[in-house]
Amino acid sequence: MKWITREKPKIDRIACPWLIKKYIDTEAEFIFVPFDEVITQATLLNAIPFDVPNVELSHQLGLCTFDSLIEKYAIEDEAIHTMATIVRGADTDRHDLAPQSAGLWAIAAGMAHNIQDDHELLKQGMIIYDGLYSWAKYLQSVKHFQNPFENLLVNVFQKVFQPDARNNRKTPTWAKELKDIIQDQIDTNLTLSLKEISKELEVNPAYLSREFSKYFEDLSFGEYIRKLRIEKAIDLMSTSNHSLTEIAYLTGFSDQSHFTRIFKKHTGENPSIFRKNISKSKFDTKS
């Protein structure tokens, strides 16, 4: 059977032919044409169109064409479903879906840049998806350093050559810029998110989330933001007459009960008791 799609493939239009060949049509012939010719050529050539708008096999409700093929042909292989999440994350730029998605996108983009012939690109891409399938099927629990000698080398490097790696780690530019962004926006942007910031920094959000704690007091992004908001709340308690409800709102908490719970987690006291102690401390100082 003939299958037809857009030219210049990268993710879905390489992954789908691989899946079609493996599970659906072993004799499949793939045709790549300009976007605006796919439907016309599909009719002329009696080919099945895929990964273009307004056809059955395409993106739907956040899923990609690879997902559509799995659903239509009822493919139940668990390894294929593992791959589907990785492909979807790479193809829809949602690298948070799977840690492998960013790597798949990087490899696919590099290959598409190096190989201009679509059929040669497909041929080489098939090898990539063969490897990804084998990993998903047999190797998900296998770590790189399985050999005892390799483990020994890594341990020596970490313990001898990098004894103070955390203390000596050079803070990257993005971490410095991120700290400035947070300080600038924490007072005005109450819905500050890592995804939003990642666009401003032009850094992958999954990477940012993974590396954040290394440069921000061993705290996750959410924990660090809550810490800053609690510090701001303490400052408002000391310097203003705002009610606790107003302070909760001004520091970005959804309601006072949420504010109270997080505040107690950070300080060990309810905000009302904490404020009384501040007032008492000021009175004692004056007397």
Q: Can you list the pairs that 261-267 forms with residues at least 24 positions away whose Cβ atoms lie under 8 Å?
A: 262/226, 262/229, 262/230, 263/230, 263/233, 266/226, 266/227, 266/230, 267/230, 267/234
Packing angle between helix 118-134 and helix 101-114, nearest 10 degrees? Answer: 160
Q: How many domains does the chain have?
A: 3
Question: Are residues 230 and 133 part of one domain?
Answer: no
Question: Are residues 46 and 24 part of one domain?
Answer: yes
4-51 pLDDT, tens digit each: 999 999 999 999 999 999 999 999 999 999 999 999 999 999 999 999
Residue 85 CA: distances (Å) to CA of 10, 39, 69, 95, 192: 16, 28, 13, 10, 27
Range with the largest mean pLDDT of 72-76, 141-145, 253-257: 72-76
Question: Are residues 182 and 66 part of one domain?
Answer: no
Closest CA to 101 of 200, 205, 212: 205
User: Which residue range(s) make up the domain with 256?
Assistant: 223-286
Stated pTM of the model: 0.56
Query: Model confidence at 137, in pLDDT bands (50, 70, 90)?
Result: very high
| The last residue of a domain, from among 168, 197, 218 | 218
CATH number reported for the structural domain that contains residue 228 in this entry: 1.10.10.60
Question: Are residues 214 and 167 part of one domain?
Answer: yes
Round to whole Å and give the CA distance between 244 and 233: 9
178-187 pLDDT, tens digit each: 888 887 776 6
Q: Per-residue pLDDT for 188 more than 90?
A: no
The single-letter DSSP state of residue 52 is S
Which helix H or strand E contains 4, and what residues bound it?
strand 2-6
Question: Are residues 87 and 192 part of one domain?
Answer: no
